[in-house]
């Protein structure tokens, strides 16, 4: 392998590692949000639905922010 090939492979490996780390961080964040709902032990389905809707809105807002940042 040439030095260019080694550089490209190393760069790809670092990039893939960073992508995995970011995905893990995102999943940990949203899992924590869902764990909060579980810990609350909602009184009714409506109460739980309200909490899930709130998390869904948080996710939508985050997606919008990320999409705006990627356009810059």
pLDDT in tens, 10-65: 999 999 999 999 999 999 999 998 898 888 887 888 888 898 999 999 999 988 98
Handedness of CA 35, 69, 67, 12 (dihedral sign): negative
**Could you report how far apart the first and last alpha carbons of the chain are, in Å?**
37
pLDDT at 21 (0 to 100): 93
Residues 6+ away with beta carbon under 8 Å from 9: 1
pTM of the full structure = 0.68
pLDDT at 67 (0 to 100): 87
What's the CA gap between 26 and 23, in Å, rounded?
A: 5
């Amino acid at each position: 392998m040439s030095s260019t090939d080694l550089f490209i492979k190393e760069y790809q490996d670092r990039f893939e590692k960073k992508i995995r780390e970011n995905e893990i961080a995102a999943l940990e964040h949203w899992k924590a949000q869902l764990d909060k709902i579980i810990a609350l032990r909602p009184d009714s389905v409506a109460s739980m639905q309200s909490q899930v809707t709130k998390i869904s809105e948080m996710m939508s807002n985050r997606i919008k922010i990320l999409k705006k940042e990627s356009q810059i």
